[in-house]
Amino acid sequence: MSSDHHRVHTSVPDTTAAIDRSLPEFPAAKPIDEDNYFRLHKPPQYLSQISRDVADFINFHHQARRKIVLVTSGGTTVPLENNTVRFIDNFSAGTRGATSAEYFLENGYAVVFLHREFSLLPYSRHYSHTTNCFLDYMTESQNGKVEVNAEFQKEMLVVLRKYRHAQKNNLLLLVPFTTVHQYLFTLKLIAQELSVIGSDALFFLAAAVSDFFLPSSRVPEHKIQSQESGGKLVVDLEPVPKFLSRLVDSWAPISMIVSFKLETDNSILIKKSKGALERYNHQLVIGNLLQSRKREVVFVTKDSDRWVKLTSDQIEANVDIESLIVPEVIKLHASSIEEKRKVGL
């Protein structure tokens, strides 16, 4: 409760040694990988409900001729048992996704926010996962009423108005996931629904998706096995098929797709980003380094790479880098729509 203890943070990743550099770049998934994956794994039970909600949302905004962005956010988990008590997690608080969603909303997009449950959400992110507890914003007035502290009033009013605006106009659809299976089934579903609006759809894939998973045929009903000898535990995982290529080729072939590449070594960031572009044949990779991702990113396309950076004044003023990233992405989306219209798509 004393502010002292808030100085200790136990979950900060070590930026000098955080990215798995020697993993091979897995090949892009093929139709057969897709067939196998979606045939061998059960869809989440709630998927039909999400399907209905997504269809209604897309239909509503399509009639209003509003562009729609799918923002993915947060890390996926890989359950090691037929439950979610023990799992492998890819850490991501969801800051990039939640913040970007706000700027898409401010720029007139409707947003489907496909997010890890309990990761940061647009607007409420300003009051979650912080060192401040919700109750620290509150005070008891002389007549026994709970009030928002005067010092937080101004900022909170701005956030609250934007939140209510999005809510009132049905501009934000929250769709949760936890496991990598849930993520992939839901991504495919939403992509296929969005393909209806073609080039007006934008995919902004900021989620941290697991590289490995335990095929359901190998997930034991009650437990992970311990080796007979010495009580060791051996977990044997398969690579997750790289479905980005399926998104580009088949699920939503006319939409613009943006993916992210997170590295720690500046000297290979652009090369790796170009590699992803070539492998998946999509429009834009936004490269970023773990240590500087809140200050600068690089836009990598087939024929250019261009840094987008906060100025030192902007850093001082706590400007979100997403307030620069999102308008740039929107410009590229507009060009992409224009080009596709020219060829009749």
Q: Which residues inside 214-243 make contact with a second copy, applying CB under 8 A? A: 221-226, 230-239
Asked whether position 42 contacts a second copy by CB under 8 A, the answer is: no
Which residues, 68 to 87, sit near a second copy by CB under 8 A?
A: 77, 80-87
* Dihedral of the alpha carbons of 120, 276, 281, 193, in degrees to the nearest 10: -20
Asked whether position 48 contacts a second copy by CB under 8 A, the answer is: no
Distance CA 130, CA 253 (A): 39
Say which amino acid occupies 2. S
Q: Which two tokens stand for residue 186?
A: 């839901």
Q: What string marks each residue from 133 to 162 as x (binds a second copy by CB under 8 A) or -?
A: xxx--x-x---xxxxx---xx--xx-xxx-
Distance CA 227, CA 232 (A): 5
Three-state DSSP class for residue 24: coil
Asked whether position 1 contacts a second copy by CB under 8 A, the answer is: yes
Using CB under 8 A, pick the residue from 72, 182, 199, 288 that binds a second copy: 182
Q: Which two tokens stand for residue 300?
A: 């990598």
Q: What string marks each residue from 95 to 134 as x (binds a second copy by CB under 8 A) or -?
A: ----------------------xx--x-xx--xxx---xx
Asked whether position 40 contacts a second copy by CB under 8 A, the answer is: no
- How far is the CA of 63 from the CAs of 231, 256, 258, 299, in angstroms? 60, 20, 25, 32
Asked whether position 343 contacts a second copy by CB under 8 A, the answer is: no
Closer to a second copy by Cβ: residue 144 or 344: 144
Residue the block writes with tokens 């070590």: 14
Asked whether position 267 contacts a second copy by CB under 8 A, the answer is: no
Q: How far is the CB of 61 from a second copy (least distance, A)?
A: 13
Three-state DSSP class for residue 39: helix
